[in-house]
Amino acid sequence: MSLFNEPTKVPRTGHFTVAGATPELFDAERAEQSAIETFRESMKINADDYDFCIIDTPPLLGLRTFAALLSADAVLAPIELGDYSITGVQRLLQAIKGVSQHYGRDEPNFLGLLASKFDRRSPRERALFEGLAEEIGGLLFPGVVGKRDVYARTASERIPVWQMKGPSARDAGEEIRGVFAKVEKMMELSHG
């Protein structure tokens, strides 16, 4: 929550630094509007210390999401196929444009919708994915994150999936590194 209260430096903790959610973070949704700009200032003072900052926001357009949009160079929107809604996508795109216009900044690069927790073995999910691709194919990110138990374990063990043992972790590590590589390439193309 301190990132929203005052410009705050986040100390490095190795190759990856994770600032986990806390109960206080939920209070940010009820903070003053100025917290959006305070968060942006927090991101600016940390910019030289990190190559990437991944901000995971809830799937609703609240203060935390607006703060992340104001601070972002690029936006990748994970979606679960069962929860997918074209209305939700339109709202997100409008929010990106609205935040940029309100604060007088360039829009972040929209990298696309990332199918997340995608069960490739499910005929229903494959049909949903194909329908989504037909409906808004140009907005889809060129990759997916499959439904794998190992991802939930990484969150509880607080280590990257590629550091876990076993074939499932190896496959998930290759999958997520592939997503990261595509994000990096798309960001370099959009930012020179």
What CATH superfamily is the domain 2-148? P-loop containing nucleotide triphosphate hydrolases (3.40.50.300)
164: its two tokens: 């876990």
Residue 189, pLDDT score: 64
Q: Give the DSSP H/E element, type plus range, for residue 177.
A: helix 167-191
**Residues 6+ away with beta carbon under 8 Å from 43:** 3, 53, 71
Q: pLDDT digits over 38-95, tens only?
A: 999 999 999 998 888 889 888 888 999 999 999 999 999 998 887 667 778 888 999 9
157-160 contacts: CB < 8 A, separation 24 or more?
A: 158/18, 158/20, 160/16
User: In the predicted model, is pLDDT for residue 100 greater than 70?
Assistant: yes
Give the CA angle between residues 66, 87, 129 to the nearest 5°: 105
The verdict on pTM exceeding 0.75 is yes
- Residue 112 backbone zone (phi > 0: left; psi -120 to 50: alpha; other: beta): left
Give the CA angle between residues 159, 54, 23 to the nearest 5°: 75
Where b means 16+ CB within 10 Å and e means fewer, 16-47 reads eeeeeeeeeeeebeebeeebbebbbebbeebe
Residue 70, pLDDT score: 94
Q: Report in angstroms the alpha-carbon separations of 40 from 48, 54, 60, 111, 147.
A: 14, 14, 19, 20, 32
Sign of CA dihedral 26, 44, 151, 131: positive
* Contact call for residues 38 and 6 (beta carbons, < 8 A): yes
Q: pLDDT digits over 140-183, tens only?
A: 999 999 999 999 888 788 788 999 999 999 999 999 999 999 99
**Residues 6+ away with beta carbon under 8 Å from 186:** 74, 109, 111
73: its two tokens: 């160079």
Residue 103, pLDDT score: 93
Q: Report in angstroms the alpha-carbon separations of 177 from 8, 25, 26, 170, 186.
A: 29, 28, 30, 10, 14
Band (192; pLDDT cuts 50, 70, 90): low
